[in-house]
Chain A
């Protein structure tokens, strides 16, 4: 009985952690997209530079979210 409860709590903890990580990354990538769109609207000729920098920054933000998801996954498995 205790074992099932422990496992359920671990699963819930992992899932909540992954969800919180996803929220953070969502806000972050949204901000990046907003900034990129605004700057493209302001300077359409700089679209190529802005696009590659946007993808790079989004990848870095996403990396942080993926760490959260991996840790959440480990909380479930271990």
Chain B
């Protein structure tokens, strides 16, 4: 009985090993036999990975779709974006990303890396990634020594600025309308209804319960964070747009601002509890104080990771479900057609969940910022309460 189970285990391990090593070998073998057919096939299977990361990562263009034209070349429907580069030798260079022709051409001594190029030249994957711009010499070879500083307006930056413009436009319009008296003496109209609901929600659910008497001081910051994350989440859900809130740099900056706000609003009571926790035995303090000090930094770190991971996970989920159709179609065309209704139904379902998540993550980022600020100013509030209590007696 035991020998039988070990035997089957060994068989499983062996077949797994064979499966692992046969795939690349087989692909290479076929490539030599039928290069044209296999490259198309391989492209389709490889696509899933590339498509997913192409959607998640930042890029120098808005890429909508590609198709194979009647001339046999690959065409791309894109909006090119400006590229701004700085090198010590050449100084500042500014041009549109369409000059690269999606990595096929070099321009002014710069080249755009693509996955095919990295594989072809066998570059170090840890150092170079698709979408990076590198310096090239006259012969078209990559100049490894030259350092290129990339300040380009990538699609994340452009989309963030567009979303910001939209938000400012809406808010100014609403504010102007209040200036004319609509909404103060009469019922609010149009966009005012939405904004009033949001402002009331942030004030009643986030600011007041956590910050108490000081809520009006922090309400502008909380509202700014809430609306900024919300508009970027929602604009990022429109098909074809970039994944701004799923960019770690974006969430890093937001959490850093929150961190600074928390530190600047902290009082002696907060630091006293960290450095010298009251009512704790001396030997526990040796463990507790480092943990508390670490806690100062894990709070903004958790804020950063939470927003980033949630948005990336949502986008990956949607694009994976869509990619499944093409993975199935690579097996058999009819399987692909048969699978697509299920895939699309699931995608729509997840999309609605993502709309919920867009609101929820904006809410969670704001409420946690509010809670952390509340912890930092808590002592003053308590002292104040104690004084009032004592005075009442």
Contact = CB atoms under 8 A, between A and B. Distances in A.
A67 B310 CA distance: 11
Contact of A1 (B21, B305, B368): B21
A55 interface: yes
B20 A66 contact: no
A4 B209 CA distance: 54
Given A4-B20, A8-B20, A69-B313, A56 B367 contact: yes
Contacts of A52: 205, 209, 367
Interface of B: 20-21, 24, 205, 209, 302, 305-306, 309-310, 313, 360, 363-364, 367-368, 371
A67 B305 contact: yes
B19 to A, nearest CB: 10
Given A5-B20, A63-B305, 11 more contacts: A4-B24, A8-B20, A55-B360, A55-B367, A56-B367, A56-B368, A59-B364, A62-B310, A63-B302, A66-B309, A69-B309
Determine which residue in A62, A66, A69 has the highest number of CB atoms from chain B within 10 A of its CB, and name it: A66
A62 B20 contact: no
Interface string A52-78: 100110010011001101100000000
DSSP majority for the A interface? helix
Q: Which 8 A-B pairs have the closest CB atoms?
A: A66-B309, A59-B364, A63-B302, A63-B306, A8-B20, A66-B305, A52-B205, A4-B20
Nearest to A48: B205
A59 B360 CA distance: 9
Nearest to A64: B302
A17 to B, nearest CB: 14
Contacts of A67: 302, 305
A40 to B, nearest CB: 17
Contacts of A59: 306, 364, 367-368
Interface residues of A, number: 14
Contacts of B364: 55-56, 59
Contacts of B205: 52
Contacts of B302: 63, 67
DSSP majority for the B interface? helix
Contacts of B360: 55
A62 B368 CA distance: 13
A75 to B, nearest CB: 15
Contacts of B368: 56, 59
Contacts of A69: 309, 313
B362 to A, nearest CB: 12
Nearest to A58: B364
B338 to A, nearest CB: 28
Given A55-B360, A59-B364, A59-B368, A66 B310 contact: yes
B357 to A, nearest CB: 11
B363 A66 contact: no
A16 B313 CA distance: 17
A50 to B, nearest CB: 13
A69 B310 CA distance: 11
B305 A70 contact: yes
B306 A66 contact: yes
Nearest to A59: B364
Contacts of B367: 52, 55-56, 59
A52 B363 CA distance: 10
A1 B23 CA distance: 12
Determine which residue in B24, B205, B306, B313 has the highest number of CB atoms from chain A within 10 A of its CB, and name it: B306
Nearest to B365: A59
Nearest to B205: A52
A52 B209 CA distance: 11
A39 to B, nearest CB: 17
Contacts of A5: 20
Nearest to B367: A56
25 contacts: A1-B21, A5-B20, A52-B205, A52-B209, A52-B367, A55-B364, A55-B367, A56-B364, A56-B367, A56-B368, A59-B306, A59-B367, A59-B368, A62-B306, A62-B310, A63-B305, A66-B305, A66-B306, A66-B309, A66-B310, A66-B313, A67-B302, A67-B305, A69-B313, A70-B309
Determine which residue in B305, B309, B371 has the highest number of CB atoms from chain A within 10 A of its CB, and name it: B309
